[in-house]
Chain A
């Protein structure tokens, strides 16, 4: 994107006011910022849905795999860029009775032959490790599972860029972990370019190589993840640093940084909880006054 400016149809306010952004193959770029900074709009513009599918005025240049989005048809943009939104329910077509068919929805629309369709569906399921869900009813999945199915059905179009607009915001912790793990595996193993918009800076710290901060329709800061997330100015932009950074800062402010030496907080956060099972018969911890 170069100097991208965008206003929604029927409005005059430019939600994006001059954005420069590159996402290269194999890189994960995260975009953070307060609500109403234009992050969702950025996703729509990057994917070409704005202006192709929803109208509005786009100025500046947005290139997807080398071609200006303004000149593409929606289905062409879809093959270059896949997009995943927050709400799992609205992304499923609602017309298929198995996950397999749901993932096949895109390739079928393109008129690919059966062999190619089977290959793409199986490929997408393998990438996200959801082959076990293939015969399930898409409407009866948990939020996290539904998001993975929606993601798989987008990956079935083999886009070279993937845009994710707060994919875990509507999910509970279990769903967040499921999707977060799948994304981090995907990012590590794939050559796809990924643009991730997220509030959960912990997730950003885990999978993104670069972070851009979007405020008021402009990118105000950009750089390697660790640097940006550790920047004290982040809070002024209305973005919460990841828990690890916050704790390090709080501890440093109390002059106790020495106690944290040798402790990798980010890794600690990712450890699964073990802990000896409670001996049978032991009362569960409780502190309620009688």
Chain B
């Protein structure tokens, strides 16, 4: 693998060229689009807002060839959606157009309509976030934010926090094992398990804190606090076209939502 890289230039596995035209868009563009889609999905009342967003998002996903990967995201919102459906259909306040009486329960058409709309909104939001996540590696997003002035500390904190999670999980499990081996009962009654909080939490915190000092030193030893801008390894092109698109999407979304709130948007 490494022989494929030419000496003297930044290798491809570092440059990670994007794999499609949507992928190749600047991360900020994709971010703004996702926000605009989310705003329209929730801010425009009626059916049109969410349906249009879903259509756009699915179309984008197909073009970017991440359609299949959307499925897990869609499945993930099912529990939320199910509860929305149930609560609204059966318990919509003030609705009187009952569908049928089932014992003490009285589902209403109004409720059902509200439920379905809410479901579409949640789905639209989730899918739009999903498309963003699937087409924008975290590295790219952080690099772009740094270019726009976020600063190396901000970038580091966010990047390190994300990377830290598996390590913390592993540390937590080792701490738990150590304490269990000394007789801490984590399999017994609830009360006993509550008593275990300090022996589990304290080493976690102490360990995390002492690691901070070591990590800080390792960072300083690599000139982390040098003044000036860090060198960008990976060009993330932007263009006037994209800038315009971002403004248009942002303004457009605001206008649509405002119009909808003001009641002057003539769509179902």
Shortest C-beta distance, B231 to chain A (Å), equals 5
When A and B form their complex, what is the total count of cross-chain residue pairs whose Cβ atoms lie within 8 Å? 119
- Cβ proximity bits B205-217 to A, threshold 8 Å, 1 near / 0 not: 0000001011111
For residue A83, which residues in chain B have a CB less than 8 angstroms away from its CB? 217, 221
- Distance A87 CA – B211 CA, assembled complex (angstroms): 10
For residue A89, which residues in chain B have a CB less than 8 angstroms away from its CB? 167
A142 at the binding interface (Cβ < 8 Å): no
B219 at the binding interface (Cβ < 8 Å): yes
For residue A111, which residues in chain B have a CB less than 8 angstroms away from its CB? 226, 228-231
Instruction: Spot the interface stretch: B8-16, B78-86, B124-132, B178-186.
Output: B8-16
Known: A100-B14, A108-B230, A135-B13. A75 touches B223 (CB 8 A): yes
Range of interface residues on B (Cβ < 8 Å):
35 or more
- Distance A97 CA – B234 CA, assembled complex (angstroms): 13
| Inter-chain contact B163/A134, CB cutoff 8 Å | no
| Inter-chain contact A101/B221, CB cutoff 8 Å | no
Known: A93-B156, A109-B152. A114 touches B217 (CB 8 A): no
Known: A108-B230, A117-B233, A118-B10. A135 touches B221 (CB 8 A): no
For residue A93, which residues in chain B have a CB less than 8 angstroms away from its CB? 156, 160, 218-219, 222
- Distance A202 CA – B11 CA, assembled complex (angstroms): 39
- Distance A25 CA – B166 CA, assembled complex (angstroms): 41
Range of interface residues on A (Cβ < 8 Å):
35 or more
| Inter-chain contact A94/B160, CB cutoff 8 Å | yes
For residue A85, which residues in chain B have a CB less than 8 angstroms away from its CB? 214, 217-218
B220 at the binding interface (Cβ < 8 Å): yes
| Inter-chain contact B221/A82, CB cutoff 8 Å | yes
| Inter-chain contact A110/B213, CB cutoff 8 Å | no
B247 at the binding interface (Cβ < 8 Å): no
Known: A53-B216, A89-B167, A106-B222. A98 touches B13 (CB 8 A): yes
B5 at the binding interface (Cβ < 8 Å): yes
Contact of B221 among A49, A108, A117 (CB under 8 A): A49
Residues of A at the B interface (CB closer than 8 Å) are: 44, 47, 49, 52-54, 73-75, 78-79, 82-83, 85, 87, 89-91, 93-95, 97-98, 100-101, 104-114, 117-119, 122, 131-132, 134-135, 139, 150, 153-154, 157
